Chains A and B, each alone.
Chain A
């Protein structure tokens, strides 16, 4: 079945370091791909999305490119801040299904 796999956390970085969180997916069709972020004590918030191959989603300095050939949607940020500390979830969605399929989440901790 369809699934999403993320790199294991926690990931600990120093402020201004480069971030990559790997995400790969298995899907039978052509899903949309999402990154959600969960800050402590809050719900899941959409960070960025891509709806077709080669699309790049970006928001708040984060980027991810939908790579059909490698079935990946890796999250990157050039310079992380302490305020980026959160749990990041990669997810896929089939337009006609409506249910999000999540990866296991990756906790990011950024130290000053």
Chain B
């Protein structure tokens, strides 16, 4: 069964360093998302991406964050200069359709997450 994969499973970095989190969405999906979950808190939406551009982003997704689909299969989240408060579990998701349309609906399939620890 197709699945979303993410690498690495755990990333440890020093404050101020750049990190790139990688995701491989399901191959025929067109919409891609990043969410994060700070320990003990809610899963929060960061950004959605379609047709090589950002569809929507949250207040959390400031200039320190960027997303890219560099090669048609990977979907990356870059944090330019990490802060302590960026420590969280980051989930990638993908979906086949953005809008409910008759027989299809916008189920988002999630990867297992990358745990980012900023020291």
A-side interface residues toward B, CB under 8 Å?
32, 36, 41-46, 49, 51, 89, 91, 93, 95-105
Contacts and interface: CB of A to CB of B under 8 A. Distances in A.
Contacts of A105: 42-43
B76 interface: no
B61 to A, nearest CB: 11
A102 B99 contact: no
A101 B45 contact: yes
Contact of A45 (B33, B45, B95, B110): B110
B74 interface: no
Given A102-B42, A102-B43, A96 B112 contact: no
A89 B35 CA distance: 14
B105 A43 contact: no
Nearest to A93: B106
